[in-house]
Amino acid sequence: MICGELKRYLRDNNSIRVSRSVRDLAYKAMQFKEKYVREKGKEPTIDIIAKELEVTREEVAYSFDAIQDPISLQEPVYNDGAENIYIMDQVKDTKNTDEMWTENMTIKQIMKKLNDKEKMIINKRFFDDKTQMEVAQEIGISQAQVSRLEKNAIEHIKRLYK
Protein backbone atom coordinates (compact mmCIF):
# COMPACT_ATOMS: atom_id res chain seq x y z
CA MET A 1 0.00 0.00 0.00
CA ILE A 2 2.84 2.40 0.81
CA CYS A 3 4.51 1.68 -2.56
CA GLY A 4 1.22 2.43 -4.32
CA GLU A 5 0.89 5.72 -2.45
CA LEU A 6 4.47 6.69 -3.35
CA LYS A 7 3.84 5.89 -7.02
CA ARG A 8 0.63 7.93 -6.97
CA TYR A 9 2.43 10.87 -5.35
CA LEU A 10 5.24 10.81 -7.91
CA ARG A 11 2.77 10.46 -10.78
CA ASP A 12 0.35 13.17 -9.62
CA ASN A 13 2.77 15.83 -8.36
CA ASN A 14 4.33 16.88 -11.62
CA SER A 15 4.07 20.43 -12.92
CA ILE A 16 2.04 19.23 -15.93
CA ARG A 17 -0.64 16.58 -15.60
CA VAL A 18 -0.25 13.77 -18.14
CA SER A 19 -2.68 10.86 -18.31
CA ARG A 20 -1.50 7.46 -17.21
CA SER A 21 -2.19 5.89 -20.62
CA VAL A 22 0.01 8.46 -22.39
CA ARG A 23 2.77 7.93 -19.83
CA ASP A 24 2.52 4.15 -20.16
CA LEU A 25 2.78 4.41 -23.94
CA ALA A 26 5.88 6.59 -23.62
CA TYR A 27 7.55 4.13 -21.25
CA LYS A 28 6.72 1.18 -23.53
CA ALA A 29 8.11 3.11 -26.48
CA MET A 30 11.29 3.92 -24.55
CA GLN A 31 11.72 0.27 -23.55
CA PHE A 32 11.30 -0.83 -27.16
CA LYS A 33 13.70 1.88 -28.30
CA GLU A 34 16.40 0.69 -25.86
CA LYS A 35 15.90 -2.94 -26.91
CA TYR A 36 16.06 -1.98 -30.60
CA VAL A 37 19.29 -0.01 -30.11
CA ARG A 38 20.89 -2.96 -28.27
CA GLU A 39 19.91 -5.40 -31.01
CA LYS A 40 20.39 -3.32 -34.16
CA GLY A 41 22.92 -0.71 -33.06
CA LYS A 42 20.82 2.21 -34.30
CA GLU A 43 17.80 4.16 -33.15
CA PRO A 44 14.37 3.17 -34.47
CA THR A 45 12.21 5.69 -36.28
CA ILE A 46 8.88 6.75 -34.84
CA ASP A 47 7.20 4.67 -37.57
CA ILE A 48 9.02 1.52 -36.40
CA ILE A 49 8.07 2.18 -32.77
CA ALA A 50 4.45 2.86 -33.74
CA LYS A 51 4.25 -0.33 -35.78
CA GLU A 52 5.73 -2.40 -32.93
CA LEU A 53 3.32 -0.93 -30.35
CA GLU A 54 0.38 -0.96 -32.79
CA VAL A 55 -0.43 2.74 -32.39
CA THR A 56 -0.19 5.75 -34.69
CA ARG A 57 3.05 7.64 -35.12
CA GLU A 58 1.32 10.75 -33.75
CA GLU A 59 0.49 8.93 -30.51
CA VAL A 60 4.14 7.91 -30.11
CA ALA A 61 5.40 11.43 -30.77
CA TYR A 62 2.80 12.91 -28.43
CA SER A 63 3.70 10.47 -25.67
CA PHE A 64 7.41 11.28 -25.94
CA ASP A 65 6.64 15.00 -25.76
CA ALA A 66 4.27 14.51 -22.82
CA ILE A 67 6.87 12.95 -20.53
CA GLN A 68 9.49 15.64 -21.08
CA ASP A 69 10.03 17.88 -18.09
CA PRO A 70 9.01 21.48 -18.78
CA ILE A 71 11.78 24.06 -18.80
CA SER A 72 11.75 27.79 -18.29
CA LEU A 73 12.04 30.17 -21.22
CA GLN A 74 14.65 31.94 -19.09
CA GLU A 75 16.85 28.81 -19.09
CA PRO A 76 20.27 29.53 -20.58
CA VAL A 77 21.18 27.30 -23.55
CA TYR A 78 24.60 28.80 -24.20
CA ASN A 79 27.13 30.77 -22.18
CA ASP A 80 30.34 32.11 -23.66
CA GLY A 81 31.53 33.46 -20.33
CA ALA A 82 30.29 36.98 -20.93
CA GLU A 83 26.79 36.58 -22.31
CA ASN A 84 24.02 34.00 -22.04
CA ILE A 85 21.66 32.93 -24.80
CA TYR A 86 18.30 31.91 -23.40
CA ILE A 87 15.58 29.64 -24.79
CA MET A 88 13.43 32.77 -25.15
CA ASP A 89 15.97 34.11 -27.65
CA GLN A 90 15.69 30.94 -29.73
CA VAL A 91 11.87 30.87 -29.93
CA LYS A 92 11.25 34.59 -30.20
CA ASP A 93 8.34 35.65 -32.43
CA THR A 94 9.65 38.22 -34.89
CA LYS A 95 6.28 38.79 -36.60
CA ASN A 96 4.27 39.77 -33.54
CA THR A 97 6.55 42.25 -31.83
CA ASP A 98 5.27 45.18 -29.79
CA GLU A 99 6.20 47.48 -32.65
CA MET A 100 4.21 45.42 -35.18
CA TRP A 101 1.24 45.30 -32.82
CA THR A 102 1.31 49.09 -32.50
CA GLU A 103 1.67 49.56 -36.25
CA ASN A 104 -1.27 47.23 -36.90
CA MET A 105 -3.40 49.20 -34.45
CA THR A 106 -2.41 52.44 -36.17
CA ILE A 107 -3.20 51.04 -39.61
CA LYS A 108 -6.61 49.83 -38.40
CA GLN A 109 -7.38 53.26 -36.92
CA ILE A 110 -6.37 55.01 -40.15
CA MET A 111 -8.33 52.53 -42.31
CA LYS A 112 -11.47 53.43 -40.35
CA LYS A 113 -11.07 57.03 -41.52
CA LEU A 114 -10.97 56.17 -45.24
CA ASN A 115 -14.15 56.12 -47.30
CA ASP A 116 -15.55 52.73 -48.33
CA LYS A 117 -14.07 52.74 -51.85
CA GLU A 118 -10.59 53.72 -50.60
CA LYS A 119 -10.76 51.06 -47.89
CA MET A 120 -11.77 48.41 -50.38
CA ILE A 121 -8.98 49.28 -52.82
CA ILE A 122 -6.27 49.46 -50.12
CA ASN A 123 -7.44 46.13 -48.68
CA LYS A 124 -7.48 44.38 -52.04
CA ARG A 125 -4.16 45.84 -53.20
CA PHE A 126 -2.04 45.56 -50.05
CA PHE A 127 -3.69 42.96 -47.84
CA ASP A 128 -5.11 40.60 -50.51
CA ASP A 129 -2.06 41.13 -52.80
CA LYS A 130 -4.08 41.84 -55.92
CA THR A 131 -2.87 43.81 -58.92
CA GLN A 132 -4.58 46.99 -60.07
CA MET A 133 -5.95 45.06 -63.06
CA GLU A 134 -7.44 42.35 -60.82
CA VAL A 135 -9.05 44.96 -58.57
CA ALA A 136 -10.40 46.85 -61.60
CA GLN A 137 -11.98 43.70 -63.07
CA GLU A 138 -13.39 42.69 -59.69
CA ILE A 139 -15.16 45.97 -58.98
CA GLY A 140 -15.96 46.92 -62.58
CA ILE A 141 -13.88 50.05 -63.13
CA SER A 142 -10.78 50.77 -65.22
CA GLN A 143 -7.23 50.14 -64.06
CA ALA A 144 -6.55 53.89 -64.36
CA GLN A 145 -9.41 54.61 -61.93
CA VAL A 146 -8.02 52.03 -59.49
CA SER A 147 -4.61 53.67 -59.76
CA ARG A 148 -6.08 57.12 -59.12
CA LEU A 149 -8.18 55.92 -56.16
CA GLU A 150 -5.20 54.05 -54.70
CA LYS A 151 -2.99 57.14 -55.02
CA ASN A 152 -5.65 59.31 -53.35
CA ALA A 153 -6.10 56.79 -50.55
CA ILE A 154 -2.35 56.67 -49.90
CA GLU A 155 -2.20 60.48 -49.84
CA HIS A 156 -5.14 60.48 -47.43
CA ILE A 157 -3.30 57.98 -45.19
CA LYS A 158 -0.12 60.08 -45.30
CA ARG A 159 -2.06 63.17 -44.18
CA LEU A 160 -3.67 61.23 -41.33
CA TYR A 161 -0.43 59.55 -40.23
CA LYS A 162 1.63 62.77 -39.92
Q: What is the pLDDT of residues 21-70, one digit of tens each?
A: 888 999 999 999 999 999 999 999 999 999 999 999 999 999 988 888 77
Q: Give the number of other Cβ atoms within 10 Å of residue 25's Cβ.
A: 21
Residue that wins the pLDDT comparison between 140 and 7: 140
Q: What is the pTM of this model?
A: 0.42
Confidence band (pLDDT; 50, 70, 90) for 88?
confident
**Looking at the predicted structure, is the pLDDT value of residue 4 above 90?**
no
pLDDT of residue 135: 92
Q: Using alpha carbons, list the distances in angstroms from residue 110 to 146, 148, 158.
A: 20, 19, 10
**Domains of the chain, start order:** 2-72 (1.10.10), 98-157 (1.20.140.160)
